[in-house]
Each structure stands twice: as structure tokens, then as C-alpha cells.
Amino acid sequence: MKILVINSGSSSIKFQLLEMADESVLASGLVERIGETEGLIKCTMRPGRKDELVVKNATVVADHKSGMRMVVDLLSDARQGVISNSGDIDAIGHRVVHGGEDFHKPTVITGDVLAAIERNIPLAPLHNPANLDGIRVAQELFAGVPQVAIFDTAFHQTIPPHAYLYAIPYALYEQQRVRRYGFHGTSHKFVASECARLMGKPLEELNMISIHLGNGCSMTAIQNGQSIDTTLGLTPLEGLVMGTRSGDIDPAIHAFLVRNCSMDIEGIDAMLNKDSGLKGLCGMNDMRDIHEAIAKGNKLAKLALDVQTYRNKKYVGAYMAVLGRVDAIIFTAGIGENDEIVREMTLRGLESFGVVMDPAANNQRVKAPTLLSKAESRVQIWGIPTNEELAIAREAKAVLNS
């Protein structure tokens, strides 16, 4: 069974083609700068193998449809392609950012499903229209191939009302569905499942805190395998300190900025999403640059690291209280997998809560699932690489087989 995973953004399409028999990647790549004067297509066939082939192609990509058509042409190229034609693909898994309250699990795409994704556009005005573009183009180019939507929000639909409601007038929830939804659900679910497998216990019996630290960051409290709270909210801005996003702030800062700094709501929204977080504090949003700057004595870079890891620790504490018993803490994504300093600072001082890191195990980049805690640690600490494409492909396969 070959599954094509598509993550369609406003000006880009990321894709990966997987052979599900052995979960190997046949091809992966992305189309960038769709609609601009010069687009870019990068595609790696048979990644990691001896005959790996990297194709880079700068050309005008007018729209998503022509971008997707170029991808199909590359994948089915007679000389170097990995399929003979689009009919070789058995299913397509689409990443969809916001399923609102309509979707609790991956869903085969029908007309009603498209309408529901469209209904949720106000909740994700940038992402859902781009995701819909990708679905519509794929439906056209792969007529008859089953298509499945995998929602970033779905895993978090088990969060109970006391954790998803904001303490603002209830009518805003009833009329506008203003509430916490959470994101990165596919990643949190994937690493939690992997962790359960490695611990040799059913996911349904485990309580975990999963910490996804990439450009976007979020933490999830998982009870008996289900998400019961998460740090991202109505939008992917709340919670942890991210690359360019603020995470939690006093909501009254908005009014302060309007009254005192001549800012309007669009400007504030852009600042909190694009110019805040690590970048806002020290001008850099890549953790590698921040460590380099700290080594050279940059005080603001050190402060940014301190602010981020302090916030991480605060939420670990909160979720330990929420869960009562924690079996595992999981680090994943770019920073979570690669940055032993952030991991150490996040959990430093939690020994009395049964969280005891093994400095030798922690002192490495995590390329495969790795236990990072000492044997005596009541809570196991794991570094587990996330793989959202594989997770999406597995979910799509499971839906189609059910």
C-alpha cells in the first residue's frame, strides 16, 4: 500500500510518499513559493538509500494545482521516478490544521467533511483554506483515490470542558466556539504511542507529559492515553515560549499596546506571532544560534533560554499536578530531540517529584527513541523523534482498514 501524505500551506506543499508494507519513504519533498515569480520544487527519491536522488527545480509554480501536477510528474518520471502513474497511489493523507469541534479522529474526506473544514475557517483563517486547496487539487489529480483528513486538533478533543473553557462570557463559547483546541495533536499522539510501545505497556494505562519543542512548541497532559490538557489554545499562540510566538502573556497587554503604543489589533497579532518568543527577546529564533551567542557572552540570548526553559518547567509542574501520577515525560521535535541543554534546564530541580535525568544519556542528540532518565527515576524521561508524515500515513491506513 502506497500512501501520499500532503501538507498544503498557503504558498507551499510538503509531500511524502510512503510504502506502508515496511513504512519506508519512497520520496519526499516540497514545492515552495507558489504564485511567486520564482517557485522551487525539491524532491528526494528513495531518501537515505545508495541510489538517493535529489531533484531541485526552480520554475514558476502558478498555483497549487500546477505544483501538485509537477510533483506527480516527478514521482512518475520514467527514468528516476518511484511510481508508474498516479494510479499507483492507494490513498492520500492530508494534514488539516483545524477540525474545530467537528472532528475527533481522522476522517475519510466527503463533501460533508469539506463543508465542515470550510466552516472552521474562522478558527484557522490562514491554514484551513490552504489545506482545502490541497485537498481539492488532489481530488482532481487522483480521482477515485481515497483521501483522509488528519486533524492537528483531533487528539485534543478529549480535553474536558473545565480545561478547554476560558473564563470569559460563556456566550462566546456557545456562539463563536471560543475555547482551547490545541494543536500538534498528531505529533503528541505519535510519540505517546511510541513511548508506550517502548515501555511495553498499553497506552491506555499510561499517564504522560509530552513536550513538543520545535519552531512551534506545546506540551500535553496525557491521562490513560488521552489528551486532557494542552498548552496551545484557540490558536497556536498560547502556552510555551516559541521561536517567534509569545506563548502566555497577560491578555491586558493588548489594551495597553493600543492605548499607549499606537498599535492596532493587526499589528499586535503580527507582533505576537512573528516577532515575539525567543526572537522577540534576543533577536534569534533558532536555538543553535542562541547557544552560539550565549557562548560568546550574549546576555539577552541567555535570558531568552532562561525564559523558555522556565516556562517549560512551570507547565511540567502544572501537568504533574493535573495528572497526579506521571509515568513518562517525552521530549520531541527540533529542540526537544537535539538540545540537551534545554531538556536539562526544563527538568532541573524536579528530582523530589521523581524526575531524575541521566546526564550521560541526556548528553546527545536523539536520533532514535532514547531513555534519558536514571533507573531510579520514578518518572521515565524519553527523547523520541517525531515523524508527522509517518503518523499521518499510519492514521490514514488505519481509517481505510477499519
- Secondary structure of the chain: what % helix, strand, coil (to 5)? 40, 20, 40
33 phi-psi bin (left φ>0, alpha ψ -120 to 50, beta other): left
At closest approach, how far in Å is the CB of 234 from ligand ADP? Answer: 19
Q: Which is nearer to ligand ADP, 102 or 152 (CB)?
A: 152
C-alpha cell at 326: 506521571
C-alpha cell at 358: 541521566
User: How would you label 364-388 residue by residue, b for 16+ Cβ within 10 Å and e otherwise?
Assistant: eebeebbbbbeeebebbbbbbbbbb
At closest approach, how far in Å is the CB of 388 from ligand ADP? Answer: 8
Instruction: Select which of 152, 229, 327, 339 is catalytic.
Output: 152
Q: Which is nearer to ligand ADP, 228 or 384 (CB)?
A: 384
In this structure, the number of other CB atoms found within 10 A of the CB of residue 242 comes to 26
- Residue of closest CB approach to ligand ADP: 334
At closest approach, how far in Å is the CB of 324 from ligand ADP? Answer: 30
C-alpha cell at 90: 492507494
Q: Which is nearer to ligand ADP, 94 or 179 (CB)?
A: 94
- Do 333 and 183 form a contact (C-beta atoms < 8 A)? no
Residue 90: active-site member: no
Backbone phi and psi for residue 11, each to the nearest 5 degrees, phi listed first: -130, 20
At closest approach, how far in Å is the CB of 73 from ligand ADP? Answer: 27
Cα separation, 24 vs 89, in Å, equals 14
Q: Which is nearer to ligand ADP, 119 or 367 (CB)?
A: 367
Residues at the interface with ligand ADP (CB under 6 A): 214-216, 243, 286-288, 333-335, 338-339, 365
| DSSP state for residue 271 in the 8-state scheme | H
At closest approach, how far in Å is the CB of 214 from ligand ADP? Answer: 3
**Residues assigned a catalytic role:** 152
